[in-house]
Structure 1
């Protein structure tokens, strides 16, 4: 199986006078739902049902949110880790900085070794 990509023309925002260039952008080939994923996990087991797996994944999602909100890094073993990061405007001094200057937050995912290794062996197919 290969990752599909399309090619798009883009300019460099920091150098608007330079000619535009063409860049690859990954194209999704579909999606899998939480329920379908739980069915696949259950198919690989003789002791748990898809309902059991779905319940565990739902609880995992709730706990991930709770621990990220508490400022913790959540490590999923070989799968990878999740951590919240923030973006803010600057202040002249540390004392003048306040939480209202935080303008954006996001969740960073750092893949574990197996996922990073998978990226090294990907095949690509150009699509239109």
Structure 2
């Protein structure tokens, strides 16, 4: 199986007069939800049911939410790390920077070694409509 891609035309946001260029853009080809992943994990084990796995995954999400909102990095071993990152408007002095300067936040994921290694060998193919 390979990752599909589309070709998209984009203007240069820094130079509106520059000619457009064409770029490859990853195309999602389906999706899987938490319940299906739980069934898949349970299918590889004779000791745990998909209900048990789903319960653990749901509790993982709750625990991650709690720890991320406390400003902690959530380290999940070989899976990877999650952390909240922010962007803000600049100010003339450090004293003028307050929470009001924060304009955006997101959760950043840094994959573990196995996921990074997968990126080195993944195959790509053009998406066919």
* TM-score between both structures, scaled by the size of structure 2: 0.96
1:93 aligns with 2:128: no
Q: Which residue of 2 aligns with 1:74?
A: 74
Q: Which residue of 1 aligns with 2:56?
A: 56
Aligned pairs for 1:32-43 within 5 A: 32-43=32-43
Deviation at 1:124, TM superposition (A): 0.7
Deviation at 1:3, TM superposition (A): 0.4
List alignment gaps of at least 5 residues for structure 1: none
1:27 aligns with 2:3: no
Deviation at 1:96, TM superposition (A): 1.5
List alignment gaps of at least 5 residues for structure 2: none
Deviation at 1:98, TM superposition (A): 1.1
Could you report, residue by residue, the CA deviation over 1:72-120 in whole angstroms, capped at 9, with x for unpaired residues?
0111101110000011111111111111111111000001111011001
* TM-score between both structures, scaled by the size of structure 1: 0.97
Would you say how many aligned residue pairs link Structure 1 and Structure 2?
128
Q: Which residue of 2 aligns with 1:111?
A: 111
In 2, distance between residues paired with 1:31 and 1:122? 18
Could you report, residue by residue, the CA deviation over 1:46-73 in whole angstroms, capped at 9, with x for unpaired residues?
1110000000000000000110000001
In 2, distance between residues paired with 1:10 and 1:90? 28
- Secondary structure of the equivalent of 1:41? helix
Q: Which residue of 1 aligns with 2:84?
A: 84
Runs of 4+ in 1 over 4 A off after TM superposition: none
1:126 aligns with 2:126: yes
- Secondary structure of the equivalent of 1:42? helix
Could you report, residue by residue, the CA deviation over 1:8-51 in whole angstroms, capped at 9, with x for unpaired residues?
11111101111111100111110001100000000011111000
